[in-house]
């Protein structure tokens, strides 16, 4: 049974600071990792994908992957109140049989 | 279409009734996925389609759930004899192929069984 673990939070971060969201996964065969943002009452929206070890930057967002430690993180720089949402980590280990496996998400609150 | 379209957006049904949920994926996306999200919970994978084929139906919660897809287009998720525990948001997503692509989700159908 593949598992993706996230701290449910809430994680409270002051506006302008760096928000750090963490995720661990159980399947060493996992190939690809995704971060989704889900606003309350809305559907998940893909914000980052990462496939190889190291960092990947896109605007204020940086995804970090460490396959040896089975760990993936998302950093949000210069946090804004509009970043307040639940952030879902997901992994894909191939085969397609069960699609992406999602964590339960971390609720992030950016305090003005 | 421009995005993944789901209908209805909200459905209230009486316990024991059958419901049909519809998903229209992004044009050209061959892979289509159904997830369920209970209130305050994570996403629960139900089933995926590659074209109109569903290779693995083991994620469906019970035999009251079924899904089909016409070609590489519309999919329907049918729940027979609904129970209160079926109340959830049912999310559909599509991707260009069954590979390591991120998915695009529809806005979901909120099902309430009373």
Distance separating alpha carbons of residues B69 and B110, to the nearest angstrom: 20
- The residue-averaged pLDDT of B30-41 equals 91
Cβ of A8 under 8 Å from any chain B Cβ? no
- B110 to each of A55, A112, B8, B46, B86, how far by Cα in Å? 37, 32, 8, 16, 10
Query: How many angstroms separate the CA of residue A46 from the nearest CA in chain B?
Result: 7
According to the model, what pLDDT value does residue A96 have? 54
Q: What digits encode the pLDDT tens for the residues B72-92?
A: 799 999 999 999 999 999 999
The per-residue pLDDT of chain B, averaged, comes to 92
> Of A100, A101, A102, A107, which to mutate for an interface test with B (greatest number of B Cβ within 10 Å)?
A100
Tokens for B74, please give them. Answer: 């519309």
Q: Cβ contacts of residue A57 below 8 Å, gap of 6+?
A: none
User: Which chain B residues contact residue A98 at CB under 8 A?
Assistant: 45, 48, 56, 59
Residues of B in contact with A43 (CB under 8 A): 91, 105-108
Q: How would residue B26 be classed by pLDDT, with cut points 50, 70 and 90? A: very high
| A104: contact with B, CB 8 A cutoff | yes
The answer to whether the Cβ–Cβ distance between A102 and B98 falls below 8 Å is no
Nearest to A98 among B45, B100, B104 (CB): B45
Q: What per-residue confidence (pLDDT) applies to B108? A: 97
Residues B36-66 pLDDT 10s: 999 888 899 899 998 888 888 888 999 999 9
Give A18-74 pLDDT, tens digit per residue.
Answer: 999 999 999 888 889 999 999 998 999 999 999 999 999 999 999 999 999 999 999
Q: Does A9 touch chain B (CB under 8 A)?
A: no
- DSSP states along A48-98: EEE-SSEEEEETTEEEEEETTTTEEEEEESS--GGG-EEEEEEEE-SSSTT
How large is the average pLDDT for residues A76-93? 95
């Amino acid at each position: 049974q593949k598992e993706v673990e996230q701290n449910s939070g809430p994680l409270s971060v002051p506006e302008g600071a760096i928000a750090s969201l963490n995720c661990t996964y159980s399947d060493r065969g996992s190939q690809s990792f995704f971060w989704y943002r889900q606003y309350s009452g809305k559907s998940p929206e893909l914000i980052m994908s990462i496939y190889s070890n190291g960092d990947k930057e896109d605007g204020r967002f940086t995804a970090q992957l460490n396959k040896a430690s089975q760990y993936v993180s998302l950093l949000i720089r210069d946090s804004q109140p509009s970043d307040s949402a639940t952030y879902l980590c997901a992994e894909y280990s191939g085969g397609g049989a069960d699609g992406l496996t999602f964590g339960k998400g971390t609720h992030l609150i950016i305090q003005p | 279409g421009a995005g993944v379209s789901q209908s209805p957006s909200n459905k209230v049904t009486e316990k024991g009734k059958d419901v049909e949920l519809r998903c229209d994926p992004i044009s050209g996306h061959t892979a289509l996925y159904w997830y369920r999200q209970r209130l305050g919970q994570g996403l629960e994978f139900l089933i995926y389609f590659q074209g109109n084929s569903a290779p693995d139906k083991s994620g469906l919660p019970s035999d009251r759930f079924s899904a089909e897809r016409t070609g590489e287009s519309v999919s329907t998720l049918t729940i027979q004899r609904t129970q209160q525990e079926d109340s959830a948001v049912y999310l559909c997503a599509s991707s260009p192929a069954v590979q390591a692509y991120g998915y695009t989700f529809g806005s979901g159908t909120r099902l309430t069984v009373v």
